[in-house]
Amino acid sequence: MTTLQEKTDKKETNLSTGVITQSKDNRTTLNSAGSRVRLTGSEKLTDDVDLEYRLEYSVYLDNDGNGNNFASRNTYLGLKHKKYGTMLAGRLYTPDDDIDYVNWGYLYAAGTSSPFGYHGQRTNNTIQYTTPKFNDGKTQIKLHYAMDEVVKDDTDSSNGGKFTVFGADGKPNEKRRDMIVGHMLHESEKFDTGIAYTSAGDFKALRAMVSVKPTKELTVGLIAQQTDYNSGNKELGALVSGYYKLNPTTDVYAQAGTARNYKGYKDGEKTTASTGVIKWLKRDGARVRAFGSLSYSDETSFKYDGDDLVRVQSDALGLEAGLRYDF
């Protein structure tokens, strides 16, 4: 549960007519969008094979979630073999989400996340395979396939992946289609590194990350991503961060990132920055911590109003404090 005080200034310029529209927002909000309930478990079928299941749903503590209370998050049924890995089927998040040990931002303010236009997604109709860990238990590969059962390349289906791609007319369109995502993740005491690739027709994304631990207290990291929206202008973004443990109950972080050709537009760009302090009330089991953060975002994006291209320039400064729990 968090309280956010955020000041946002926005300017929209119609590049065809020259009409300019400006707006401001300085509203305090209460947020609980990250809450969830889940039921997980496993049943042994043989000496080598376990049946695994997970039912996880969103819960909004401060409101009715606009009809999204108890909306499905990760829900699956699968088999885990000691030697051959794990196969899951259901609704699952894409593996590129695992390749992010770098973004420490808390929590809902603009500027707390990486500056990329694409962040991965949760997909229906999904089969996901994870290898057993190899290389002395440090390395793992995950493969993800989401199938769209509708023949037409549009948004009629709720299955497969959902993407924004540019058509022959130069305008962005939302599409539903089959997607394949894979990642390789290596974790060790001194550093973690990983790479993920997404392919869905003319949409593609490549993500890479490295997180280094110079000391017990300090972790520094870099994540970069190139995204192809079929516009001829590939988005390229990066985020760098540092996380430091002041004492057993207090941590601090700082991070900054930028992206060029944001969301596939030649002059699109986005810059984010965030710094904060975390006070741990309980670090083991059901983890509970209080936090405070200051975040900034500066964004130039574009949209179409009919046939007119509109440039949207916005900047936001947010001060946030709250309580976060993980069961």
Which residue, among 71, 37, 32, 34, has the nearest Cα to 54 in the 3D structure? Answer: 37
Cβ neighbours, 10 Å, residue 43: 9
pLDDT, residue 103, reads 94
pLDDT, residue 299, reads 99
**Is the residue at 281 inside a domain?**
yes
**Is the residue at 267 inside a domain?**
yes
pLDDT, residue 262, reads 99
pLDDT, residue 139, reads 98
Classify residue 264 by its DSSP letter.
Answer: G
What is the sign, positive or negative, of the torsion defined by CA atoms of 76, 286, 242, 255? positive
> Residue 256 and residue 75: Cα distance in Å, rounded?
33
pLDDT, residue 152, reads 64
**Is the residue at 136 inside a domain?**
yes
Please list the helix, strand and coil fractions of the chain in percent, rounded to the nearest 5, in that order. Answer: 5, 65, 35
Name residues of the chain where pLDDT drops below 50: none
- Host domain of residue 243: 2-31+84-326
At position 287, the amino acid (one-letter code) is: R
**Is the residue at 264 inside a domain?**
yes
**Is the residue at 126 inside a domain?**
yes
Total tally of structural domains belonging to the chain: 1
**Is the residue at 71 inside a domain?**
no
pLDDT, residue 232, reads 97
**Is the residue at 55 inside a domain?**
no
- SS3 call for 109: coil
DSSP 122-165: EEEEEEEEEPPPBTTTTEEEEEEEE----SSSSSS-SSBEEEEE
**Is the residue at 37 inside a domain?**
no
What's the CATH code of the domain at 270? 2.40.160.10
pLDDT, residue 300, reads 99
This prediction's pTM: 0.94
- Cβ-contact 323, 289 below 8 angstroms: yes
Residues with Cβ within 8 Å of 255's Cβ and at least 6 positions away in sequence, in order, are: 102, 103, 104, 105, 239, 240, 241, 242, 272, 273, 274, 275
